[in-house]
Each structure stands twice: as C-alpha cells, then as structure tokens.
Structure 1
Amino acid sequence: MSEVGRLYGLGIGPGDPELLTLKAHRILTSVPVIAYPTLENGKALARAIVADFIRPEQQEIPMPLPFSVQRSSQPYYDLGAEKIAAHLSAGRDVAVLCEGEPMLYGSFMYLFQRLAPRFPTEVVPGISSTFASAAMLGVPITFRNDVLSIMPATLEADQLRDRLQGVDAAVIIKLGRHFSKVRDILGELGLLERALYIERATQPSQRIIPIQDLNPEEATYWALILIPSQTQPR
C-alpha cells in the first residue's frame, strides 16, 4: 500500500503577496496539488494572491464555496474534501490556500475537520486581515491589559450590542449587508467616533473610508471595523 499524501493548510495572508511567510512559500512551490475556494462568479481570491508562485505543472482543485447564507452548508465542503482526499490517498501532497489565518474564521477549518482525522496534516499560520488592518490604519489595537474582542457582523443586533458594550478594543468582521446595523449600534453605544473602516487591507483595491461617508450599499464582506483601545501608553 502506497504512503498517503500530506495535507497542508496554508495561511497566505490578507492580500499582499510579500506578506506570505517563507514556510508557506516553500510548501506552495513544492507540492504537486493546490486547492483553493472560488466565489459564485468563479473568482479565486486566494489563488490570485499567490498566482505568480504557482507552477504550470501543479494540479489545481478549485472549490466553489458560495459566500452566502449557504456558504457553510455541508455539501460544498464535503465535495471539496472528497476531491482533496482522492489526491491524498494516491500519495500526493495537497496545499489548501486560505486567506489570512486558517484557524481564525478560515475556510480551511471546515476541510481540516473532515480530513485531519484521516491524513497527516500541517497548518501554516498566516497574517490575519484583522491585524494587517491595524497596520494599514496606523493605529495600535491594544495596550497593557486591554482585552481584544473579535466578532462577526452577522450576529443578531441584540447579541452584537451586548458584546460591544464596555469593550476595550474590538474588531467587527464580515460587514457587507450588515454594515448599517453595525453602524447604528456603534452610534447607540457612543463608539462611532473611535470606529475605523477598512476594506481589502493590503490589496491594491484597499480602501479606508470614514464610516459616516460610506454608502452602506458599497460595504463589502471583505471589510472590517476596528475600534482601537483608548488606553494611554506609558
């Protein structure tokens, strides 16, 4: 019986190819098979980040993972896992590309749950858009004993309001169509003046816009709001 292949979850960072780690680059350029999620329109954002490093002889597995209410449904991940498992069972290593950090709201987590019990697996950390955004905005997130809260905008309004009350510092991700709800809650809690909006951090299409000036219809899923600490460093 031939030896099975190794599964890699590669964190490829928020968008700037130069933020790819040396380890991720080494694995990316050496494995025979690369897998990555695609959007409904066929675009593969993760692949686009590292496109210049992919060799023609490498096999590719595009995995449709619609970014909608159905995004986390079982069939999409089951199908992607089956395709990857076929290569691993045949002894071929597979690297799954994951924007940002694979274990922080990363799509790779769902494949990890399905495949790690069956195949040797290694996760390579990546730079999260959460922390890249702070660098692009030029603001420290936390000082000393501050507690950082990360929460998805997809939470119900009451849940989001409860979690934002009294925060030292917070990051709200997955904005998109939830932007107006989040903006209204921040206004209620007196956090709007501290809040900073950024989308597609480190990418060529990056935008930093004052929240009050943003048309809610323009808010993208690939955006976040950062509420930095008010603690004074010393």
Structure 2
Amino acid sequence: MTGGPGTIWGVGLGPGDPDLMSVRADRLVRSGTHIAYFRKKGRPGRARKIVEELLRPDATEIAMEYPVTTEIAFDDPAYSACLSDFYADVSAQLRDLALAGHDIVVLCEGDPFFYGSFMHLYTRLKDAVPVNVVPAITGMSAAWTATGIPITWGDDVLTILLGTMPSEELERRMRDADAIVVMKVGRNLPKVRAAMQAAGKLDRAWLVECASMAEERAIPLAEAGDVTPPYFSIVIAHGQGRRP
C-alpha cells in the first residue's frame, strides 16, 4: 500500500508461453500482491495458468468471471448489456482497491490493447485512478512464426479480419489483401475457409492452433477439416510482396 491511490497495471502476458513475457511483465507478476484475471465460470482461466509458477504465495487473487461467453449471440443487444454491467462491476471493484492504496496487476492474454477484455476496464478506470499498460507479443505474431514463413514482404499490407464477419465481407477484404490474419475463428472455420478459397488465397493459408503453447499445431487450412478448432486459433495467409 502507498500513501495515495494504487496503480492498476494491465499486464500483457504474450501468446501463452511464459518465456515470451517481457521482463517488465515478469517483474510485475512476481511482485504483485493483488492479481486479477478474467476467466469463464468453472474454468481456471488461461491467463492464470500462464503465471502459475510466478505468483507469490501471499498474493490476493481476484477472479473476474464472465457472465456470458457464447451462450448469447454477440450481436444480440442482451450480450452487450450483460457484458457492460459486468465490466462496470469489476471496474468498480478494482477502482475501490486502488483508492485504498493497493496496486493491482490485471493479467491480460496477448496484448492488453489488441482485442483484449482489459480495454473495457481501461476506458472505465483511466480517469479515476492511475492505470498503466504493459504491451506484449500478440497471438498473431506467435501464429505466423509457428508456420515458419514470414508474414509480410516489401510493401505488403497486413489486414486483420474477424471470423465473425459476414461471408461476403470476409471474401471482399481477403481478395483485396496482401497478407491476412483472421482472428476469432472457432466455429466460423468453414466460413473462413470458404471465403479464403473464393478470394483465391486458400493455397497459401494456414490454421494455427494454440501458438507458442504446448498444444501448438500449424497445418494448411485446406487440410484442417470442419472440426471446431480451439479458442486460441488463428488463420494466416502470407504476403507475397517484393523481396531483394
């Protein structure tokens, strides 16, 4: 505790391998007395598992359990309303701890400012208490590294898409892209593969599961089948730009 408000740290843990955490992230996690992390109810939480061997024995853990994940369609107004209330509640909990003088480390998978839940806390907390962010290697960086092929060459433009997008929009953007990363694949894999084929890029597309983790697997997308891949799955299509 300090004389004034504590600081809330959004700490990026990287793609999943603890060895890929930054020195600053490692230091903050090891010294943290209050450790907060997101998880699905009934699950230990991937972020918590990444730091399993790093936490001090007397650390106070704050598990922030999502009220909904896939039970409600993401475009249903009820989904946004439910999550908005959740983020407001956990933000208030962390704010009160910080105002009481406690520093809090919020564990963030990947990079906190790249499709991360911490962003929703940050916007609610940044004007109330000190908030600092520790950037990290993103999952997509680990994914294209797992393929053993550089993602961009020369003047290639990298386009990041979401598997939740409509098929026509996916195809259009893929057709216009040089290098492609598709996030949020999951049950959208057949749609993503069909769009990649229609865009003429299936022959250079890969599915990468659990990049940098023990379960890592990288296979050509054309050979992936229709089984729903793990949550941490990304589709990659490498650029073909100029090279010396």
Which portions of structure 1, spanning 4 or more consecutive aligned residues, are displaced by more than 4 angstroms?
Answer: none
Residue number in structure 1 paired with 2:48: 47
Residue number in structure 2 paired with 1:187: 197
The alignment status of 1:166 with 2:176, answered yes or no, reads yes
Show CA shifts across 1:198-221 (max 9, x none). 011000111223323323233233
CA distance in 2 between partners of 1:118 and 1:136 (Å): 40
- Residue 43 of structure 1 deviates from its aligned partner by 2.7
Between 25-34 and 98-107, report the one with greater CA deviation: 25-34
Residue number in structure 1 paired with 2:107: 97
CA distance in 2 between partners of 1:109 and 1:194 (Å): 33
CA distance in 1 between partners of 2:168 and 2:41 (Å): 31
- Do the aligned residues in 2 keep the contact of 1:61 with 1:83 (CA within 8 Å)? no
CA distance in 2 between partners of 1:87 and 1:209 (Å): 45
Q: Counterpart of 2:227 in 1: which secondary structure?
A: helix
Residue number in structure 1 paired with 2:10: 9
- Do the aligned residues in 2 keep the contact of 1:33 with 1:94 (CA within 8 Å)? yes
CA distance in 1 between partners of 2:41 and 2:3 (Å): 37
Residue number in structure 2 paired with 1:21: 22
- Do the aligned residues in 2 keep the contact of 1:177 with 1:220 (CA within 8 Å)? no
- Do the aligned residues in 2 keep the contact of 1:142 with 1:169 (CA within 8 Å)? yes
Between 77-86 and 177-186, report the one with greater CA deviation: 77-86
Q: Counterpart of 1:96 in 2: which secondary structure?
A: strand
Between 103-112 and 68-77, report the one with greater CA deviation: 68-77
Q: Counterpart of 1:14 in 2: which secondary structure?
A: coil
CA distance in 2 between partners of 1:143 and 1:108 (Å): 32
- Do the aligned residues in 2 keep the contact of 1:13 with 1:100 (CA within 8 Å)? yes
Change (3 A) 1:131 1:5: same
Q: Counterpart of 1:165 in 2: which secondary structure?
A: helix
For normalisation by structure 2, the TM-score amounts to: 0.91
Letter in 2 for 1:67: T
CA distance in 1 between partners of 2:114 and 2:140 (Å): 10
- Residue 137 of structure 1 deviates from its aligned partner by 1.2
- Residue 2 of structure 1 deviates from its aligned partner by 4.7
Letter in 2 for 1:163: R
Q: CA RMSD of the aligned region, Å? A: 1.7
- Do the aligned residues in 2 keep the contact of 1:8 with 1:95 (CA within 8 Å)? yes
Q: Select which of 108, 112, 137 maps to 1:127.
A: 137
Structure 2 gaps, min length 5? none
Residue number in structure 2 paired with 1:220: 230
Q: Select which of 60, 66, 69 maps to 1:67.
A: 69
- Do the aligned residues in 2 keep the contact of 1:152 with 1:172 (CA within 8 Å)? yes
- Residue 135 of structure 1 deviates from its aligned partner by 1.3
For normalisation by structure 1, the TM-score amounts to: 0.94
Q: Counterpart of 2:203 in 1: which secondary structure?
A: coil
The alignment status of 1:143 with 2:145, answered yes or no, reads no
CA distance in 1 between partners of 2:172 and 2:88 (Å): 35
